[in-house]
Amino acid sequence: MAPLTVRYAVDPRLQAEANARGLTYWSAYVAEVLDRLGVCAQPCALGQISDPELLARTGAMVLGDVPRSAIPGRADQALRDWVRRGGVLVGFATEGLDELFGVADDGTLAQGEDPFQISGYAVLGEAPVTCACRAPIEPEQKLIILSPVRLLRLTHAEELARLFRCAPEAPGDGRLAVDSGRPAITARRFGRGFAFLFAFNLSQTLWALQQGRPVDRDYDGDGYLRVSDACVVGQNSRAVPYADALHFVLASMVARLPVPSIYPIPARHGRVPPCLLFFGGDDEAEPHNQVIASDFMASRGLPYHLNLMPRAGRFAIDSTEQARIEANGHEIALHYDFMDGFQHPCGFTRADVLHQARLFRETFGRDSACSVTHWCRWVGWADAARWMHEAGGIAENHRIHWTSPPVNPVNRVGFAFGSAFPRHYWDDAAHGNVRLDFLSLPIVAYEAGYEGDRVFPEMTREALDLAMRYHLTLNYFYHPIYIARSPACRQALDHLVERIRRLPVPPVLMGPDRLAHWWLARSQATIQGALRERRTLSLTAECGWEDGYVVRIPTGATPARSCRVDRRLAPLESGLEFGQYWAHVALPPGRHDLRLRL
């Protein structure tokens, strides 16, 4: 029997030492990276990676940027024996195990004092592990690295991605980066297993890309402190999902084994949807648009989420309009206003957040779940997220797709923060680098499909096609004033609706509140006892999401033959993705035993 449990090593001592020096412990984010993969990974103490008994119960092990001095004695031999027997080892700039990874060390490419500075670039090669991981958007654009980089030389490994050095005169422009002749990502087939190594700290790169830098000044010079000031992609394209490409590479590494995971999209009527689309928009405190927009979206069978902004202590809708919107099955939430009455560029405070949250609660009788800020205002790193969570919130939906200028980047599909998927905020060193129970839901398609009076149906279609290909959770953001008053906006939405109606299996459609609740439920899901015995895989999965969930399993060069759930023959959907077959099994809510015949 071969265990398929994924583990990641943690060392509280290393984190405490870093935090005591006021430094972010970037490897803490490994937990979030694996949570997004849905593999239900389990932490283990760093000292346990030399324990043969623990390794014998492990399918894949992920190590952060562990220094050579912290690698336990005998870990090299224990890991070597385990990989030879079929284990998958993944390192994020991990030191002290170079022989096992099949590389030699030639020093380090320093990042400098700024941990949010681009330190290099990566270009994926053509290999089974990297197959289709990078979306075919601006293929000449290199992927971004944000961490110190180990300068590696291949000994027994192969190169999966090439490292490019930043041009000294323009480190933020990947077009000028120079081929280093060295690998950025390596792979070694060793016995029946694999040893993969990122030359850079993947957890730091993903954390910095997705959460950005602290908004402590007006970096983009537009006169305001906004989330666009947090963006760290430099002069590189905002249209490329950098983080998601690296996320898919890591998923493909783990998928050298038939490791089960929780699919990012919930089940729908017992089927496996191709993607999840969620819709929302800000009312800007302009009256007489909200119900019209809600009625239009409801008439098209679309969900909607209205962000309501206070002006002079009052909102633009009354209780009758609230009831009408909610009767349409739509959501309302708070649109924080930190623009009016503030001397820009400036921040805002905890008291500002709590005051407006209290006003929403007193007006509408409940807390706002997923909020936004007017003009995407932000301050600090995780500070505002911490305050919004204290105010009763669980998410924000204003990590905008593009940067300033332009101030209002309409009819664009972008990934300024690298990803379409939700993620948790993680706090700073002063607060122990803990994960907050507060999500970021990125904007991707902003007023897509039209501009002025012109309609561009290819824009909404391209976003949908991308979401379906990569099984994304993708946000279409439309302000209610445009839905209510712009024929072009309504035509763009009608083009999207018609495209959705022609799909054999439609996507899941939600508002941001419901997506946030789904993602939190997914994070609480478990997969236990995953084992492979010859051509049979068995596991127990549990998730409480009311519509059900999907377990996803890579099966290699051939599709799975059959599936039983709770001993009964169950439907099974297989498809060829990322260079191999994947089995998808839709499950009702609750705990279920699954047996897959490979």
Q: pLDDT tens, position by position, for the chain (598 residues)? A: 899 999 999 999 999 999 999 999 999 999 999 999 999 999 999 999 999 999 999 999 999 999 999 999 999 999 999 999 999 999 999 999 999 999 999 999 999 899 999 999 999 999 999 999 999 999 999 999 999 999 999 999 999 999 999 999 999 999 999 999 999 999 999 999 999 999 999 999 999 999 999 999 999 999 999 999 999 999 999 999 999 999 999 999 999 999 999 999 999 999 999 999 999 999 999 999 999 999 999 999 999 999 999 999 999 999 999 999 999 999 999 999 999 999 999 999 999 999 999 999 999 999 999 999 999 999 999 999 999 999 999 999 999 999 988 888 999 999 999 999 999 999 999 999 999 999 999 999 999 999 999 999 999 999 999 999 999 999 999 999 999 999 999 999 999 999 999 999 999 999 999 999 999 999 999 999 999 999 999 999 999 999 999 999 999 999 999 999 999 999 999 999 999 999 999 999 999 999 999 9
**DSSP secondary structure, 513-537, as one string:** HHHHHHHHHHHH-EEEEEEEETTEE
- pLDDT value of position 565: 98
Residues 236-267: b if buried by 16+ CB within 10 A, e if exposed: bbbbbbbbbbbbbbbbbbbbbbbbbbbbbbbb
Give the closest residue to 378 by CA, choosing from 229, 529, 234: 229
Reduce the DSSP state of residue 335 to 3 states and report it.
strand
- pLDDT value of position 16: 97
| Residues 6 or more apart in contact with residue 372 via CB below 8 angstroms | 280, 282, 307, 333, 334, 335, 336, 396, 397, 398
The domain spans of the chain are 2-262, 276-520, 525-597
Task: Report pTM.
Answer: 0.97
Output phi, psi for 59, to 5 deg.
-95, -45
Whole-number Å distance between alpha carbons of 176 and 453: 38
Amino acid at position 296, single letter: F
Cβ-contact 507, 277 below 8 angstroms: yes
Whole-number Å distance between alpha carbons of 84 and 523: 32
- pLDDT value of position 316: 97
- pLDDT value of position 407: 81
Whole-number Å distance between alpha carbons of 371 and 359: 14
Paired with 150 in beta bridges are 108
Report H helices in 446-486.
457-470, 480-485
Give the closest residue to 230 by CA, choosing from 381, 120, 372: 381
Cβ-contact 425, 373 below 8 angstroms: no
Whole-number Å distance between alpha carbons of 578 and 273: 18
- pLDDT value of position 1: 80
- pLDDT value of position 237: 98
CATH code 3.20.20.370 for 276-520: yes
> Residue 430 is encoded by which pair of tokens?
């002063």
> Residue 352 is encoded by which pair of tokens?
């500002």
- pLDDT value of position 574: 96
The residue with tokens 């902004």 is 309
The residue with tokens 């022989």 is 99
| Residues 6 or more apart in contact with residue 83 via CB below 8 angstroms | 89, 100, 190, 191, 193, 194, 195
Q: CA of 113: how far to CAs of 23, 119, 210, 214, 517, in Å?
A: 11, 11, 20, 15, 38
- Encode 282-318 in three state secondary structure: ECCCCCCCHHHHHHHHHHCCCCCEEEECCECCECCCC
Whole-number Å distance between alpha carbons of 430 and 441: 25
| Homologous superfamily assigned to 2-262 | Class I glutamine amidotransferase (GATase) domain (3.40.50.880)
Whole-number Å distance between alpha carbons of 437 and 525: 15
Give the DSSP letter of residue 253.
Answer: H
- pLDDT value of position 545: 98
Cβ-contact 111, 117 below 8 angstroms: yes
Q: How far is CA 109 from the centre of its chain?
A: 27
